[in-house]
Amino acid sequence: MKKLTNVSKSYIIKLVSIISLSLILSFILGFFITSIVNRENSYYQCQFTYNGNKDLSQIINIEYLTSIKQTDEVKYKSVNVKSLVNKRDISINYENNIYTINTKSKYYDNFFYISKNQVGTRAKTFVKLALTNFIDEEEKIFFIDDENIVKLIGNYSPYLGGIYGLCGGLFISIICLCFVKNNKRVDIEDNVLLFHTPFHLEYWKYPFEVFKNTRKLVMLAMLFALLLVSKLFSLPSGFGNLGIGLAYIFLAIIGLLYGPYVSLIIGCLSDIIGYFITPQQSVFYLGYTLQAALAVFTYSLCFYKTRITFGKVLLSRLIVNMLLNVVLGSYLQCRLFVMSNSLKSEMFWITFKTYALTYSLPKNIVYLIPQSLILFLVFKAVIPIFSQLKLIDERVKDNITII
């Protein structure tokens, strides 16, 4: 009884530690996502009247704005004039005798988090200097709000975003706790049937057995067919027009059942055949084949012949989302831009960082928890079935836990 009590205390401590860490990470992710949204969507607005005859739209000119930047290279170091104009992140409109200049806030800041006072002052002086130098006669221009020449629009508190992330993490933690079993877990020792880690010589010998088992080969064919069909569907995510694809679920199941060797083969075949059955793909690129193979290989390392926990599910999605999707995926996408001559080689790394930080990273952060939770629930449902079919060790069925 004493030994059991000590085990229970240890388990509770681990559980509390993981939940606490999850809540901290949820707050950081919420803060980080809100900062990224602010950087891409918030802008400074300047409104004024003008009684002269000059065409103020001529202000939006790379050469002219570059001359304004050169008046103080230190203060305006972060203002990329070429990008500001080419991406149309600065605009001037005229309506009801009032001119309005909108300019993205990210060009006046050096990081994701916007310090309203410092960055606002930088934007104010840049816009005011550009106007007054262009007009020459300052008495002909009247700012609607002379104290706050520019106003920050579309900016949300990152701390509030962090609190929302914290609430989301707490909600998910409560849901996950519903799946924690009250009975004592079966202890799995490191042996030739189940492994704590893939760093074991016997671990790499067992995957060859699948090629001798007719039942497993038939099941593999069925799973592969379902994998190809799943590429045609996705779950709505609320992230623009993008949905959460279902193919990763079948890839993870294949990694769970068949190990690293089969996973690499299936990963390659799924991408190659998937290219021909998904019409939205415009070009075949072997880099994406490698990315798919590495994703299934990651699942096999995390799930094959080992205890299944939510922590391992989350770890697998962290590797796939952050390393394979954000880093490798962004690199491959930019390589395609270069190969199609839509991107100059000297702009590769700038485009890579922009694409990774402003598009790929936010999307994969948003997807991380939902994908992990869906995969864990699927494992809870299908592993007992696979155990009855003698496709997986039955001790795995008895040890699907949060940690």
- Buried b or exposed e, range 380-395, using 16+ CB within 10 angstroms: eebbbebbeeebbbee
Query: What is residue 176's predicted lDDT score, i.e. its pLDDT?
Result: 61
Q: Given the structure tokens 């990008």, which residue do they identify?
A: 83
All domains of the chain, ordered by start, with CATH? 43-153 (3.30.70), 185-397 (1.10.1760.20)
pTM: 0.57
- The ranges of the chain with pLDDT < 70 are 1-11, 14-15, 18, 110-118, 138-139, 171-193, 233-244, 278-282, 398-399, 402-403
Query: What is residue 205's predicted lDDT score, i.e. its pLDDT?
Result: 77
Query: What is residue 183's predicted lDDT score, i.e. its pLDDT?
Result: 39
Query: What is residue 254's predicted lDDT score, i.e. its pLDDT?
Result: 92
Nearest to 270 by CA among 334, 281, 204, 333: 281
Query: What is residue 294's predicted lDDT score, i.e. its pLDDT?
Result: 92
> Amino acid identity, residue 380?
K
Q: What is the pLDDT of residues 320-341, one digit of tens each?
A: 998 999 899 989 888 888 887 7
Query: What is residue 173's predicted lDDT score, i.e. its pLDDT?
Result: 66
Q: What is the pLDDT of residues 209-256, one digit of tens each?
A: 777 777 788 888 888 888 888 877 666 554 444 556 788 899 999 999
3-class DSSP assignment, residue 392: coil
Quick one: tokens of 362? 């936010």
Query: What is residue 185's predicted lDDT score, i.e. its pLDDT?
Result: 41
Query: What is residue 9's predicted lDDT score, i.e. its pLDDT?
Result: 66
Q: Given the structure tokens 């972060």, which residue do they identify?
A: 78
